[in-house]
Chains A and B, each alone.
Chain A
Amino acid sequence: MEKSYQAKAQSSLEYLLVVALTFAIIVPTTYLFYNYSKESSQQITDSQITKLGRGIVDSAETMFYSGKGSKTTLDVNVPDNIASAVIIDGRELVFNVTTSSGSSEIVFFSSVNLTSSNCNVNVCSIQGLAPSGTKKVKVEVTSSNSVSVEVI
C-alpha cells in the first residue's frame, strides 16, 4: 500500500516537473520571439513603403525627362498599413501609415511636378492605392510640366 502511494506520488511529481519545465521554456521564448517578429514586420513594412515611394518618384522623373506622352506601368506591392496616399504641392508623395508606434506620414520628394485625376487645391489623392495588395500604377507625362500618377 505504502509502496503504491510512493510510486504514484513520484510519477505525479515527475509529470508536474516536466510540465512546469516545458512551460518555463515555452512562455518566455514565445514572448521574446513575438516581440522580435513585431519589430521585424515593422521594418519590412518600412522597406516596402520606401521601395514603393522611391519607385513611383523615380519612374515619374524618368518619364518626365523622356518627354510628353511618355508613360510606364509599375507593378507595385502595397503593404497592409497604408491608409491613404496623396500628392501635396506637386512635389510631395505622402503615404499615411499606421504602425505599432502610431500613425506616421512617410514622404517622398519629387523634382518633377506630380499630379493625379483627383485634386483639391494643392492636394491630389491617389485613389485605389490604399488597400493592400498588388497594384498597377500608371505614370504618364500628361503635359509639358506635370506627371500623372494613377492606379489602374
Chain B
Amino acid sequence: MNKSQVALEFLATYAWAFIILATTISALYYFGVFDFSKYLPQDCTFPSQFKCADFSLKPAEIRMRLLNNIGEDVHVSSLQITNDAVPPISCTPPAEFDWAHGTEKDIVFTSCTGAGYIPDVRAELKVLMGYYAMNTPSHPVHLINGKINGKVLSS
C-alpha cells in the first residue's frame, strides 16, 4: 500500500512537471523564440555582375537597387519575383528598360500579394531577371537568379 502510494505520487509529480514543461515550450514556440531565422542578417544576394546594393520590403512593394557591373550596356527584358509559399507571391513587375554599364537602378515591384508575404514577418523571395547585351548581334537573353531574405516592414 505504501509502495503504490509512493509510485503514484512520483508519477503525479512528474506528470505535472511534464505538463508545465510542455506548456512552457509551447508558449516559447508560439512567441517565436525557436524561430532562429530571425537572428540571421537580412540580405539580398545576386551574382556580382548585378550586385545588390540595397533593398526594402514594404507591405505591397518590393524595391531593390542593383548595380550593372557586367561591363556592357544591357536591356532588361523580363523581371519576375516568387517564393515557395502557396499561393506564391504575385507582384506587378517594372517595364522593360535599358541599363548603362556602371550605373545603379531601382527595381520596384508593386501591388504585391500572396502567401508568405506578411507585414512584420520574414520573407524569402526569389527574383528572376532576363537581359541581353545591346552590343551582341543576336541579342541572346540571359537569366540570373537572386534572393532576398528580409523582414517585411509594417507600413
Contacts and interface: CB of A to CB of B under 8 A. Distances in A.
A75 interface: no
Interface stretch (B44-52, B91-99, B111-119): B44-52
Contacts of B133: 92, 107, 109
A7 to B, nearest CB: 15
B144 A91 contact: no
Given A101-B147, A102-B126, A109 B71 contact: yes
Contact of B48 (A27, A46, A92, A107): A46
B143 A39 contact: no
A109 B72 contact: yes
Interface string A104-120: 11111100000000000
Contacts, number: 66
Contact of B45 (A27, A88, A101): A101
Nearest to B144: A104
B145 A89 contact: no
A31 interface: yes
Interface string B40-62: 10010101110000000000000
Given A101-B147, A104-B144, A32 B39 contact: yes
Contacts of A85: none
B47 A46 contact: yes
B106 to A, nearest CB: 20
B63 interface: no
B70 interface: yes
B72 A105 contact: no
A53 to B, nearest CB: 10
Given A39-B43, A101-B146, 11 more contacts: A28-B39, A31-B37, A32-B39, A39-B45, A47-B48, A92-B133, A92-B140, A94-B140, A106-B49, A106-B144, A109-B70
25 contacts: A28-B36, A31-B36, A31-B37, A32-B39, A39-B43, A39-B45, A46-B47, A88-B140, A89-B138, A89-B140, A92-B136, A92-B140, A94-B142, A97-B47, A100-B147, A101-B145, A101-B146, A102-B126, A102-B128, A102-B145, A103-B145, A104-B145, A107-B70, A109-B71, A109-B72
